[in-house]
Structure 1
Amino acid sequence: MKQKLIYILLLFISIISYGQVSLSLESDKAEYNGRDIINLTIVLELNGGDLEQQSVFQLPDLSKFTIIGSGSVTNSFMDPLTNTVITEKITRLALEPKKKGKIRIGSVLVTVSNKIYKTEPFDIVIKDIDRRSSAHIAAQNEVFLNMEIEDREVYQDQPTIAVLKVYSRNIDNLRKVRNIQLPQQDNINVHPVHFRKSEIDPSDMGGSMASQIIAVFMVFPNHAGYVEVPAVSASVNTLSSKNKILSNKVKLNVKKLPEGAPGSFKNAVGNFKVDVYCPTAGKTEVEKPMNVVVKVSGEGNIMDMKLPGIEASQDYEFFNPKITSKVYPGKVGMKGEIFANYIVIPKKQGAISIKTEEFSFFDPEKKEYVEVPVAQLSIHSFSHEQMMESRSTVEKVNEYTNNFLETVNTPVLKTTSFKVKEKNKFNWNILFVNIAILLSLCVAYLVFRNWQKKRSLVSKTTSTQSLGSVAETEEEIRTMLKTDITDYFNYLKNLKENNDYTKFFETVEELDSEVRNQYFQSSTKDFTMFLENYKGNNIAEEYRTLSQKIQIEKYAPVKSEEGIDELYNTIVKLYSSISK
């Protein structure tokens, strides 16, 4: 009797323990069209905290399908009635059928606490297949395209490689494919890798057709969910006709980026770093423009992401940058460098820190967000007086020589070409050339002065004309030195219309030098004070504003025709008023 009770008790225990593990495999429906996605759901329920899943799900043979996506989730909770822990693991598969008809879905196997559990197989029915999505079924066509994407499960803004193949029974038809048009769609960004044609495979698709790779490109999906890559188009050119052919469409399972993104994250996916630097050497002057470059380098969606800019500050002012890039295809995205060239104008004297905006990216390999340290450029701006005091003797000699050569420039001898360029290293040849020029000019001046004295002696003996006052003499000299500035205006107009902006600004500097020379003023600062005393504060302020505007337009990375037109009209108006 006791043995029977023990046997019955063990039987009930085995039944209860068997019921603690539940495994099921189901499809969302039994019949599908060729365009439908087959969704399979695997559910494993463990009733009890002592149960342990010892293996992953072993899937059945799915060679008749293309797996376009998968995902898993695990839920655990406490049953208040039995006071036991229930763990539920759910896995979902998204499949695309390759053939029509009745297809059997096999069993899923899993090992839990040294026991193997499996699901029951079942059948599904595929009514029809989209013939354009399979290259094997389109064999009756003479030439057709097939787009292949191996990795169809990616994160948002993470690239996947697409390979475009052309198939034909006649190898000669492969050479007639031209004008490949990559897909364009709002929810994807497409960048070509190359359009080099591979060697022809004469025995593809079981030896029945020849194939050739004609394009490789990257697809960056920018929206989460199921994204369909549109068909690639091409043309087949023959002597008699020109036919357009389309490839198949491919569906991607785009995973949403994980939660917990920092506030500085925009849409950068990959691996990047940020630098900021000044490309030109030398001291910085207050209210004078300088170049600052923000460089972003790395690999990922670098062509489509939002670049970090310069952080706004009261210490400086900056304008919209000019963007240049050196990017080429990499292994896990587009790789290279993006340069944002800013024009920055310091607003205060002393130490200034130029910082970039906060920036972060998502690393798909580590599956985590990475915050990039803020890049910083420290500069020291000087006032105009400090810049003049800090110049060496050689630099001052160079500046005086340049000013002298500018003031005596004539159409016959283009002396501005002798201007001394400042260099970081001392060049003795430049000093000797400057001294030789000065000595030559001094000798010429002495000879001219001696000749002038002899001539004045002769004129005194032959004429008793009055010499006049100092003011009249100064006015007479100014009249002799006065240049017809309308010639400059016409020349500037021609340069502006021909978009020769470099020569335009050089001519503006020559015009300014000529006008200053009429009033015996060698520097811009002295000329501004002269205008305040003799022309009024309004003319002086207009001259000061125009000088700053000329510098900004000169060093602007992108010059607009409207801005140059406005600058030209201001120059004509102001210098006409000054030279009256």
Structure 2
Amino acid sequence: MQYRITYILFLLVSVISYGQVSLTVTPDKTSYSGKDVINLSIVLEVEGNEYSQQTKLRLPDFSKFNLIGTGSVSNGFIDPTTSTYVSQSVTRLALEPKEKGKIKIGSFLITINNKIYKTEPFDIFIKDIEKKASVAENTSKNVYLNMEIEDKEVYQNQPTIAVLKVYSKSMDNFRKVRNIHLPEQENLDVYPVSFAKSEIDPSDNGNMASQILAVFMLFPNESGYVDVPGVSASINSYSHKNKVVSNKVKINVKKLPEGSPECFKNAVGNFNVSVANASTEKAEVKKPINVVVKVSGEGNIKNMELPKIAESPDYEVFAPKITSKVSVGMTGMKGEVLANYVIIPKKAGEIVIKTEQFAFFDPSSKEYVDLGQETLAVNAFSHEQILESRTTVEKVNEYTNTFLETVNTPVLKTTSFKVKEKSKFHWNILFINITILLVLFIAYLLFKTWQKNRRTVKETVPSKPLGSIAETESEIRESLKMDVNDYFSYLENLKDNEDYQKFFQTFDELDLEVRNQYSQSSVEDFRNFLESSKGSAVAEEYRSLTQKVQIEKYAPVKSVEGIDELLKAIVNLYSQISK
């Protein structure tokens, strides 16, 4: 009797200590026919707020079943007798047996507060089962879709190829399948390879014909078991329209090995990194140059994190424009991604432009590869050094270009004669420039002679009263006042016509006109003047705008949106500071 009391006490203590976490599984019945669906209910009940669930519910081996449906619901309540919070989670699984006989279902596992809780395994009995093709069927029972994945065990961010096939007893149904929608899921990146239909196989699955509808590539970005959702399509006929969905496929995504370098982000494959100077002119201090970082190879090149240009006190770097040339094929995703950076040197002399360290994981060798940093040495010159290094012919060409740009007329578009910098000297260009200068000089002399003759024959007109000095200055200032709205309209037309070279030339003319209104010759003096007269906010806006103009002016690729935003900023600022 004493042993029984002791046993009961131990039993009560164990129930009290372990009753706060309960994990149970219940089938709807224990014996099934071949056409029945096995429904399992897994209930997790936790009493108290001090318990923390550390893992998801881990399922047993279901290799003898097809998982055709799943769902879960969670709720919580406060027990009125103990005043403690009770959370309850119910998960339902729908299974389809693949074979008959006695089948054991293993334990369900979950970890809470560093302790593993599990259910007891149990047996179910399956009667005679009908053989079925492993494809998902639609409501009309005539067309089936099946998704096959080549490699069901891959690393995180490693690609695997999926093939979608259609099955039907009637080949006429194949032409009715349309509107294929590939799976969409947060932990999967899906890229189509081909939607070209293959030749029809008349006896691929017994008495049914088959045809390949689509081939696509999957990049799982999470480790663990990942369920790939079914692919959907529509079957159109004259009388009705049905939707058909393929089967789901579970793949095992292996976690990347430990010991990755600190610079490793998410690049999986085989890659190369290079950096190059895309500017043809000499690098000058405080003038932008174009630097291109190119990543080429095979892997998750479209969704991986690219190596950036490291910051340095020797230069200023701006956000890049990304362009890609990537092709998706049966062997993987190959190509190159270009990051076009605008960099402004801050000092004269040799500066070293470095990229961030870059590493990737190679699935073929199962090792991490650290490429380190890529460097680019650029020799930057000051403005004085650039002027000193020019030859006499280059100086003559520059003066000629400046003159032609300044004296442009609607009759003769002299800017079309602008001399382009070339490595080889041409005497013909020099003679043409000298001839144009002589013609313009003679035209100028003739114009002055005509003006002088006109003044001699002009009738004497009574002079207007001079008035006071203040009135005279006001009249002169009013006559010289320019209308910035004309510049705004002209800039708008140039933007619409995508004549960006003339756009930036017109902006320089507008800026020079506004500075002349305040008798400020240089941009730096004008910015100091704005800070003292208009405030530091307007001066900073002027500095930021001129810098944006320089960046867009020398950018390799000009976007319509960027020029449009730049025009809005020009109109807003110069409307404020113009007299």
TM-score, normalised by the number of residues in structure 2: 0.69
Check if 1:566 corresponds to 2:569: yes
Task: Tell me the amino acid that sits aligned with residue 441 of structure 2.
Answer: C
SS in 2 for 1:434: helix
Deviation by residue 1:318-375 (Cα, 9 ceiling, x = unmatched): 1221111100124542110011111111122211111111110111110100001311
Task: Tell me the amino acid that sits aligned with residue 384 of structure 1.
Answer: H
Give, in angstroms, the shift of residue 199 of structure 1.
0.8
Q: 1:308 to 1:382 in 2, by over 3 A?
A: same
Q: Distance in 2 between matches of 1:128 and 1:386?
A: 92
Deviation by residue 1:145-200 (Cα, 9 ceiling, x = unmatched): 10001211111111111000011111111011111111011111111111111111
Q: 1:562 to 1:484 in 2, by over 3 A?
A: closer
SS in 2 for 1:198: coil
Give, in angstroms, the shift of residue 399 of structure 1.
2.0
Q: Distance in 2 between matches of 1:323 and 1:102?
A: 59
Residue 487 (structure 1) aligns with: 486
Residue 148 (structure 2) aligns with: 148
Q: Distance in 1 between matches of 2:522 and 2:183?
A: 62
Q: Distance in 2 between matches of 1:100 and 1:532?
A: 84
Q: Distance in 1 between matches of 2:514 and 2:411?
A: 19
Task: Tell me the amino acid that sits aligned with residue 158 of structure 1.
Answer: Q
Residue 135 (structure 1) aligns with: 135
Task: Report if the CA contact (8 A) 2:288-2:344 is conserved.
Answer: yes
Task: Report if the CA contact (8 A) 2:137-2:245 is conserved.
Answer: no
Q: Distance in 2 between matches of 1:294 and 1:316?
A: 16
Residue 51 (structure 1) aligns with: none
Residue 313 (structure 2) aligns with: 314
Give, in angstroms, the shift of residue 503 of structure 1.
5.3
Q: 1:132 to 1:177 in 2, by over 3 A?
A: farther
Give, in angstroms, the shift of residue 295 of structure 1.
0.8
Residue 470 (structure 2) aligns with: none
Give, in angstroms, the shift of residue 424 of structure 1.
3.7
Residue 22 (structure 2) aligns with: none
Give, in angstroms, the shift of residue 98 of structure 1.
8.0
Q: For 1:318-357, what aligned pairs fall within 5 Å after superposition? A: 318-357=317-356
Q: For 1:162-241, what aligned pairs fall within 5 Å after superposition? A: 162-206=162-206, 208-241=207-240
Task: Report if the CA contact (8 A) 1:235-1:245 is conserved.
Answer: yes
SS in 1 for 2:569: helix
Give, in angstroms, the shift of residue 431 of structure 1.
2.5
Q: Distance in 2 between matches of 1:171 and 1:282?
A: 64
Give, in angstroms, the shift of residue 497 of structure 1.
7.7
- Size of the aligned set, in residue pairs, is 468
Residue 245 (structure 2) aligns with: 246
SS in 2 for 1:550: helix
Task: Tell me the amino acid that sits aligned with residue 356 of structure 1.
Answer: T
Q: For 1:542-561, what aligned pairs fall within 5 Å after superposition? A: 546-555=545-554, 559-560=561-562, 561=564
Task: Report if the CA contact (8 A) 1:148-1:164 is conserved.
Answer: yes
Give, in angstroms, the shift of residue 99 of structure 1.
2.5
Deviation by residue 1:217-262 (Cα, 9 ceiling, x = unmatched): 1111111111110011111111222211100000001111111111
Q: 1:538 to 1:552 in 2, by over 3 A?
A: farther
TM-score, normalised by the number of residues in structure 1: 0.69
Q: Distance in 1 between matches of 2:498 and 2:169?
A: 56
Q: For 1:348-427, what aligned pairs fall within 5 Å after superposition? A: 348-427=347-426
Task: Report if the CA contact (8 A) 2:298-2:334 is conserved.
Answer: yes
Q: For 1:505-516, what aligned pairs fall within 5 Å after superposition? A: 505-512=504-511
Deviation by residue 1:104-145 (Cα, 9 ceiling, x = unmatched): 99xxxxxxxxxxxxxxxxx99668999998129889821121
Q: Distance in 1 between matches of 2:243 and 2:220?
A: 26
Q: Distance in 2 between matches of 1:517 and 1:156?
A: 63
Q: 1:130 to 1:495 in 2, by over 3 A?
A: farther
Is 293-302 or 402-411 further displaced after alignment?
A: 402-411
Q: 1:170 to 1:545 in 2, by over 3 A?
A: closer
Q: 1:537 to 1:421 in 2, by over 3 A?
A: farther
Task: Tell me the amino acid that sits aligned with residue 398 of structure 2.
Answer: E
Task: Report if the CA contact (8 A) 1:270-1:299 is conserved.
Answer: yes
Q: 1:97 to 1:315 in 2, by over 3 A?
A: farther
Task: Report if the CA contact (8 A) 1:300-1:332 is conserved.
Answer: no
Task: Report if the CA contact (8 A) 1:290-1:344 is conserved.
Answer: yes
Q: Distance in 1 between matches of 2:422 and 2:160?
A: 50
Residue 51 (structure 2) aligns with: none
Q: 1:239 to 1:428 in 2, by over 3 A?
A: farther
Q: Distance in 2 between matches of 1:544 and 1:376?
A: 31
Q: Which runs of 5+ in 1 are unaligned?
A: 1-29, 41-61, 67-95, 106-122, 469-473
Task: Tell me the amino acid that sits aligned with residue 404 of structure 2.
Answer: L
Give, in angstroms, the shift of residue 402 of structure 1.
2.2
Residue 440 (structure 1) aligns with: 439
